[in-house]
Amino acid sequence: MVEKPSFYITTPIYYVNAAPHLGTAYCTILSDVMARYKRSTGYNVKFLTGLDEHGEKVQQAAEAHNMTPQEWCDSLAPAFHDIWKTLEISNDDFIRTTEQRQIDAVQYLWNRMKEAGYIYKGSYDGWYCVPEETYFTETQVQKADEERHTEGQHLCPDCGRPLERVQEESWFFKLSEFQDKLLALYDEHPDFVMPDFRMREVRTFVEGGLRDISVSRTSFDWGIPVPFDDKHVTYVWFDALLNYATAVGFGSPAMADEYAYRWPAQFHVVGKDIIRFHCVIWPAMLMAIGEAIPEHVFAHGFLMVRDDEGKNVKMSKSLGNAISPKDVIDLLGVEGYRYYFMTDCVPGEDGGISYGRMEQVYNADLANSWGNLVSRALNMSAKYFDGKTPELPDDWAQTQNPLRSIAEGIAERYCASMDVIQYTQAKDVVMELVHAANHYIEDSAPWSVAKDPARADELALIIANLLESIRICAHLLAPFLPSTSAEVLRRMSLEDEIDTDDLVAMCAWGGLKGGVTVTKGDALFPRLQKK
């Protein structure tokens, strides 16, 4: 048997300290849709998410709660498991950086780095932002302070919170030696960073020159000890980035086959704020130890709240405009939630969200178009064909009709957009068929055809064309609406088609089963009423 090709996709590992929110859920659903889509097109997918649990920030928060850092992390982890389960996230693994596999891998990394000659001991004197777990140089801080008129206070250039002065012995990673190699990587793989405009930003940054970075700390101890210098713990990002390799067996002799099969990853999905870590530091770390570089880093934008004047503003608790995942689930249900964020926010760009728009998208696409189509077609089939799909002659699928024309090549067009995470376009491709099918009902008026027994074959064909369109759309919508699609297929007695791994073949016109039970069922997406 030929082994399926591997497709390895990851989300960032989230800081355990901050409860899961709309932004982290967005990133995770974005990756989940890709994972589901790839499974349906014949890949053996590994989809990884997890938690980033080390660092000064976690240690400080644990102390404030009178817990050990491990107890503190353990108390927070379940909230992530719960929300991912609720949102139908199909991850195959969940890594926590406090697990033994990560400790072993990070220590192995240190030894490999030392052997390769890319680390050295020095002393760090500069600024550190604890909430962002990021170092800043004197010049960066001065410039930002001047721009902000901070009156002598030193604030984080990124988040504006007070900085900590760090003066300590530290191990350094020779990032400065990787400028040319990184530029060569970007030249050879112009789609290493997606979308394009992010690739250009990264390149410009690297062209500006790279400095060695401090990768260990001595002033606190909540981190992975440096194996040959136990006064030092690993800088949290040096630890966190490695999680992607750890989860597929980096450094573990017992997992050598798995590592060879899975590494490098196909996609790291990340937010735009953490691009430099993933597109500069991470590939340089891998180059230093001679490991393969991931194929793509996809950077998504930020979710912003669209205010009454149509302007996008940052979501924040203090502005009173923060929306929580629970608020959205309460309004749209889980499937509506997934559909809205995946098809109405253009991946890669900042997304302006609002309750008004959520209701609009839900009602227009899910209640009035997709839900309505399924309910009308299944009801008519059940009504005119005695609770069944129509019995069909062998060559029924050969007959030309407007739906069949749209369905021809639909899976290929859809895949072309899905492969590059252009979900909004992929959705448009499917919706074309959904809308056409709704029009087809009006144009062909099955209710009048049904009145004339002489037109029984015609009626069977109309209903078959509708059901066949629905079957295809259910498959194509499955990554966004997994439960709904499975339910639609079940209602048409096609349960054996759920979780296909050959989407294109599955979407070929003519797969409908004739003469099998149809179940009408409840409305899939009841219309939202204006409050």
The contact set with ligand MSP (CB under 6 A) reads 12-15, 18, 23-24, 26-27, 52, 240-241, 270-271, 273-274, 302-303, 315
Closer Cβ to ligand MSP, 182 or 297, answer by number: 297
Closer Cβ to ligand MSP, 422 or 493, answer by number: 422
| Least Å from the CB of residue 350 to ligand MSP | 8
By CB atoms closer than 10 A (0-12, 13-18, 19+), residue 514 is middle
Q: What is the DSSP letter of 517?
A: B
| Least Å from the CB of residue 51 to ligand MSP | 8
HSE-CB for 221 with a 13 A CA cutoff: 4
CA distances from 448 to 144, 211, 390, 462, 466 (A): 72, 76, 17, 12, 16
| Least Å from the CB of residue 11 to ligand MSP | 8
Largest CA distance in the chain: 91
| Least Å from the CB of residue 445 to ligand MSP | 46
Q: Are 474 and 503 in contact (CB under 8 A)?
A: no
Amino acid symbol at 136: F
Pairing mode, strands 229-234 and 267-271:
unpaired
Amino acid symbol at 384: Y
Closer Cβ to ligand MSP, 302 or 355, answer by number: 302
Closer Cβ to ligand MSP, 261 or 302, answer by number: 302
Q: Are 216 and 170 in contact (CB under 8 A)?
A: yes
| Least Å from the CB of residue 30 to ligand MSP | 9
Q: How many CB atoms lie within 10 A of CB 378?
A: 22
Closer Cβ to ligand MSP, 322 or 504, answer by number: 322
**What value does the CA radius of gyration of the chain take, rounded to a whole number of Å?**
27
| Least Å from the CB of residue 315 to ligand MSP | 6
Instruction: Tell me the three state secondary structure of residue 188.
Output: helix
Nearest residue to ligand MSP on Cβ basis: 271
Closer Cβ to ligand MSP, 55 or 390, answer by number: 55
| Least Å from the CB of residue 58 to ligand MSP | 10
Closer Cβ to ligand MSP, 26 or 173, answer by number: 26
Q: Are 12 and 25 in contact (CB under 8 A)?
A: no
| Least Å from the CB of residue 270 to ligand MSP | 5
Closer Cβ to ligand MSP, 12 or 294, answer by number: 12
CA angle 246, 250, 251 (to 5 degrees): 120
- Short-list 49, 51, 43, 70, CA closest to 59: 70
